[in-house]
Each structure stands twice: as C-alpha cells, then as structure tokens.
A and B are shown apart, each in its own frame.
Chain A
Amino acid sequence: MNTSNATLQLPGTSVTKKSVLSRCLRQPGVMIGGTIILLFVLVAVAAPLIAPYKPNTSDWMAIRQGPTVAHWFGTDDLGRDILTRIIYGTQASLLVGIVSVAIAIAIGVPLGMVAGYFGGIVDMVISRITDALLACPFLVLAIAFAAFLGASLENAMIAIGISAMPIFVRLTRGQVMTVKAEDYVDAARLLGVPHRKIMLTYILPNAMAPIIVQATIIMATAVLAEASLAFLGLGQRPPSPSWGTMLDVARQFLTESPWMAIWPGIAIILLVMGFNLLGDGLNDALDPRRDD
C-alpha cells in the first residue's frame, strides 16, 4: 500500500485558498487524475442512460460471445452484456472507494487527533492499538474482517474502512503534534478556548492537507481491495455487477472466452490510476518542500 510520508504544514495566513487551488490545478497529475475520476463518476451516475442493456438481462442466444456490433465487449457465461456490467460495476467500485475511506477517516482522524492533542496515557493506548493493527498486512486484515462480517458489498466497505483506519490515526496524530506546537495554539489555550474548539478550529484545518492526500491514495487501495475481496468471493454478491466478481467468473472460462477477463481488469486499472495520479498530484501541490 502506498503511504505518503508528507509531513507538511500550510503556512497559515500567507497562503490563500485561491493559491492552493491554482497550485493544485497546475499539477498535471491532479488534472489528469481528476478528469479520469470525474468521467467514472459520470458513468456511474448515468449508468441507466448510457448502458446499452440491463445489467442482469440474459441473452440466451449470445452466451460467451466475443465482441460484436451488438455487444461491443462481448457477453458473459449467462449471456449478459459485459460493457453494461462494467458500466454498472463502476457504481460499486466508486462507492467502496468513497465509503470505506469515509469510514476510515471518521474513526481514524478523531482518534489520531485525541492521541496527538492530549498525549499521555490516551495517546499510549491509541498508538499501541494502531501499531498492532498496522502490523497486520492490509489485505490479510481486510479478508479477516470481511470473513468475520460475511460476504456483501456493505461488509467489504466496513472491512476495508477498518483496515485503513490505523493509517489515518497515525498520520493525524503526527500532524496534530506538529501543529500543536505552534504559538497560536498556545495563545488559544491561554485564552481559555475549550479543547474541543482548539482541536476543531485551530488544529484540524492546519493538519488537513496530508490527510486529504492520503485519503485520495487510500481510495486507490480501497478500489483494489474491493476487487480483491470480490474476486475471493467476499465482496458484492452475484448477480449485482462488480469488477472483481466478473474477474472471478471470467477465470473459469479463460481459455475459451478471454474477453470476459480483459475488460474488467482495464476498468480497475484506469480507476485506480486516476486516484493514484490525483493523490500524487495533490501531494506535489500541497507540499511546500517540493521545488519545481
């Protein structure tokens, strides 16, 4: 998994929101990656409009047919249109990417913030548990959780989210500890601003940049992980379309119908590349140490 080591800090007042945005947009990675993801989002939303068929409609006259004019990407073992199922599969993949990272952030960032801000015994307990979770390989952990929860798309999201959570705890904790040392935080504390408010309005906004970068990169990891879980039979249940499940089925017909395996893989690569490009681009744009 990619873990970005960006330890950056936005210099509070000197950088306006506008210049951050323009710096982001000047990065080719942000532009290309962003465009790819935007296209996938459009495809997912407009699936019923652009898909040539229904995702679960079988054409019994066209079982495992190679690419034709009627079925551009061919059909699968049940005579379903592969292009249609790839278009609908975009929904599952994007949903997993977004929801599982949202789960990871929703649990990980507050825990990291509390650990970094308060320190002491709270920090020790949270950090040790984080270390323990980080010691388990990401996919092994996700498989164990998914198996524990049972196979479904929702459970795959939860399993991936929990497995990615410790990454955000560690990252947020480090960020908060850096920002905490700033004079304006001391000032706020001396003025008697409550802890909650200091954390949310003084520290969090200044610790956000690397969290956003990491979130983007983890979305790539999450999409790959969902495909992997589905491929192992621990994700989306058939007949709902998912790229990983399509690949699992395709493997059985590899010699006779290779097209069944090719297209879902290309879809996964493109979406994951989009998230990776966006993450790398944001990292370059938000990291003041980079000199380009």
Chain B
Amino acid sequence: MLSYVLRRLAIAIPTLLLVSILVFSLLKFLPGDPAIALAGEERDPAVIEFLRQKYSLDQPLYVQYGKWLGGIVQGDFGLSIRTRLPIGEMIAQKLPVTIQLSVMAMILATLIGIPAGIIAALKRGTAADYGVSIIGLAGLSVPSFWLGIMLILLFAVTLGWFPSGGYVAFFDSPVDNLRHTLLPSLVLGTAAAAIVMRHTRSAMLQVLKQDYVRTARAKGLKERIVVVRHVLRNSLVPVVTMSTLHLGELLSGAVLTEQVFGIPGFGKMIVDGVFSRDYAVVQAVVLCSAALFLLMNLLADIAYVILSPRLRG
C-alpha cells in the first residue's frame, strides 16, 4: 500500500513541477514591467530599481523561476500587489472556507445522489427512473451561479430563511456559519449530486446483472437484504472513486458560488486577483488548485485500492 502511494506521488510531483513552469511562463508573457507594478503609486526610479533587485527581476528567467519555486516550497508565494499581504497567508486563511463548502457540498451530493441513483436503478424504465434521470440532467446543465441567484431569491429575499450572502467563521458562531454556508453548499453540490446519481445508477445496474445477485435472490433472501448487502456494497466502489475525483472539480464551482454568495474563499481569491491584475495571486491560486486536484486524484486512487480487495497487496 505504502509503495503504491509513493509510486503515485512520484508521478504527481513532476506534473506539478510542469504546472509551475506553465504558470510561471504565463505571467512572464504579460506585457508591462512587474517591478513598476509592484511599486504601485511610487514612481521613484530608485524604489523601482530596489524592487527589481529584491525580487530578482533583473536576473535570467531560470534564476527567477528557481527563486520563485524555492520560495513556494517553503510556503512563500510572494506578496499580493493589492492587499500587500503575503499570498501564503491569504491562502491559509481562505482555503479552509472553500474546503468546508466542498466537504458540505459532497455530503449533500452523497445524501441526494446515492438514494436517487438506487431508486432509478431498482425502478429502471419506470416513471421514477425517468424522473430522477431528468432531474439529474437538469442538475448537470444548470449554471451554478444562476441556481445560486434563484436560491437567494427564494430562500433569502422572499422567505427570509437564510442570509443572502456573506460568511461567518465556524468558531465565531457555528449556527451562523451553517446558515451562511448551507445554500452555497447546495449550489456547489448540485452538479456533484447529479454525477453521483448517474454513477450509482449505472453501477447498480451492472451489479444487478451479476450471477451472485441471482444466487442471493434464488436462495430466498429478502430483496432488501439483496439490495443493501450484495448490490449496494459492490456498487459503491466506482461511486466513491468517481466522487473523490469530482472533489477536484468542485474548485471550479467554488469560484462562481463564492462570487454569487460573497464568500471570501479560495475561489473568490482568483476572481479578485484577476480583476485587480494581481497576477502573483492568480499564479499561486492556479498552482494550489492543481496541487489540490492531484491530491484528490491520489486520494481517489487510494480509496479505490482500499475498497477493491483484488487490487490490495
């Protein structure tokens, strides 16, 4: 198991290095002098020259890349031009918000997607199956920001059950935190729920065809036990793997969801970075999301190995 994980890590690290090169060169292709951008309002050539030397902007590209990467490995992503804060600190502050949203979204997606998928598979070809499939299709097709706007309109503006946006930290007030994060998590989890539903349905249909299911039925087991113990348990392997893989994609969704609900998370950070031309932030966010994505893939692989005994060993 450990050697398997190490082997997967060995593949992920070069990929991440390559991402860092791509991200670094993207920024270097931008027009304009980064030293002047860093100086902001300051027009004094001495200051600009000082910044150029401080951030090694006068060095060859590979030296700059090396220093940049060396900093990142130690958690130093540089300074945000807009907030003047270390980007590493900003990420450390904002990432947990997005992780909370993603975890809640995945829980909601599982709670909705798995039962819906089971019903659709067991009632294949009936109105229930078509109903679930159509709702699933709609869930995949709805733009998350529009769904967010509609939920705000219904639950915040009209009914007043939830606040229409903003964020309260969990440790400040757990109840307020949940009131602020429930709608965004639902929005974020919608596409994931549809995907979980589809995978559950098709995996269940695969397993229902197996001989051991027929055997279980033939020996007179109750349908409920057949479904839960034989079908469901064997269907969940691909579902867990695919859901973990989807966790990485939640980052894309978080960008829009956090924008709509005004949540100061990791996703909003990239949008803010783009609009304030704070490219060091954009760089850091893209690199971090790639790292998270690779980590999720690794977790999915590990989950798959743990769940399917044939691959263990």
A132 x B248 contact (CB < 8 A): no
In order of increasing CB-CB distance, the 3 nearest A-B pairs are A139-B252, A265-B146, A132-B18
Q: How far is the CA of A164 from the CA of B259 in the complex (A)?
A: 23
In the complex, what residues of B have CB within 8 A of residue A144's CB? Answer: 26, 270, 274, 282, 286
B-side interface residues, number (CB < 8 Å): 44
Q: Does B169 contact A (CB under 8 A)?
A: no
B255 x A139 contact (CB < 8 A): yes
Q: Does B140 contact A (CB under 8 A)?
A: yes
Q: Mind listing 12 A-B residue pairs with CB under 8 Å? A: A132-B22, A140-B285, A141-B286, A144-B26, A228-B256, A231-B143, A234-B274, A247-B145, A258-B153, A265-B147, A265-B149, A272-B140
- Nearest-CB distance from A66 to chain B (Å)? 14
- Indicate whether A135 sits within 8 Å of B290 (C-beta atoms), given known contacts A1-B249, A140-B270: yes
Q: What is the interface of chain B mostly: helix, strand, loop, or mixed?
A: helix
B138 x A273 contact (CB < 8 A): yes
Residues of A within 8 A of B (CB): 1-2, 128-129, 131-133, 135-141, 143-144, 147-148, 220, 224, 227-228, 231-234, 244, 247, 250-251, 254-255, 258, 261-262, 264-265, 268-269, 272-273, 276-277
Q: How far is the CA of A280 from the CA of B18 in the complex (A)?
A: 34
A231 x B282 contact (CB < 8 A): no
Q: Does B157 contact A (CB under 8 A)?
A: yes
Tally the A-B contacts, defined by beta carbons under 8 Å. Answer: 131
A270, closest chain B residue (CB): B141
A268 x B255 contact (CB < 8 A): no
B290 x A276 contact (CB < 8 A): no
A137 x B146 contact (CB < 8 A): no
Q: Does B118 contact A (CB under 8 A)?
A: no
- Nearest-CB distance from B215 to chain A (Å)? 21
B266, closest chain A residue (CB): A140
In the complex, what residues of B have CB within 8 A of residue A273's CB? Answer: 137-138, 141
- Nearest-CB distance from B158 to chain A (Å)? 9
In the complex, what residues of B have CB within 8 A of residue A128's CB? Answer: 14-15, 18
A268 x B146 contact (CB < 8 A): yes
In the complex, what residues of B have CB within 8 A of residue A227's CB? Answer: 143, 145-146
Q: Does B293 contact A (CB under 8 A)?
A: yes
Q: How far is the CA of A247 from the CA of B144 in the complex (A)?
A: 12
A220 x B141 contact (CB < 8 A): yes
A261 x B289 contact (CB < 8 A): no
- Nearest-CB distance from B285 to chain A (Å)? 7
Other-chain residue from A137, A251, A269 in contact with B142 (beta carbon distance below 8 A): A269
Other-chain residue from B30, B157, B248 in contact with A148 (beta carbon distance below 8 A): B30
- Nearest-CB distance from B266 to chain A (Å)? 10
- Nearest-CB distance from B186 to chain A (Å)? 16
Q: Does B150 contact A (CB under 8 A)?
A: yes
In the complex, what residues of B have CB within 8 A of residue A140's CB? Answer: 251-252, 255, 270, 285-286, 289
B286 x A136 contact (CB < 8 A): yes
Q: Knowing that A137-B248, A147-B274, A224-B141 are A-B contacts, what are 20 other residue pairs whose CB atoms are under 8 Å apart, sorted by A's residue number?
A: A128-B14, A128-B15, A136-B19, A136-B289, A137-B251, A138-B252, A140-B255, A144-B270, A144-B286, A232-B274, A254-B153, A258-B153, A261-B146, A261-B153, A265-B146, A265-B150, A268-B143, A269-B142, A273-B137, A276-B140
A254 x B152 contact (CB < 8 A): yes
- Indicate whether A132 sits within 8 Å of B157 (C-beta atoms), given known contacts A144-B26, A261-B146: no
A251 x B252 contact (CB < 8 A): no
B209, closest chain A residue (CB): A291
Which residues of chain B from 273 to 291 have any CB-CB distance to chain A below 8 Å in the complex? 274-275, 282, 285-286, 289-290
A258, closest chain B residue (CB): B153
In the complex, what residues of B have CB within 8 A of residue A131's CB? Answer: 15, 18
- Nearest-CB distance from A77 to chain B (Å)? 15
A254 x B249 contact (CB < 8 A): no
B149 x A250 contact (CB < 8 A): yes
Q: Does B294 contact A (CB under 8 A)?
A: yes
- Nearest-CB distance from B1 to chain A (Å)? 24
- Nearest-CB distance from B133 to chain A (Å)? 10
A247 x B282 contact (CB < 8 A): no
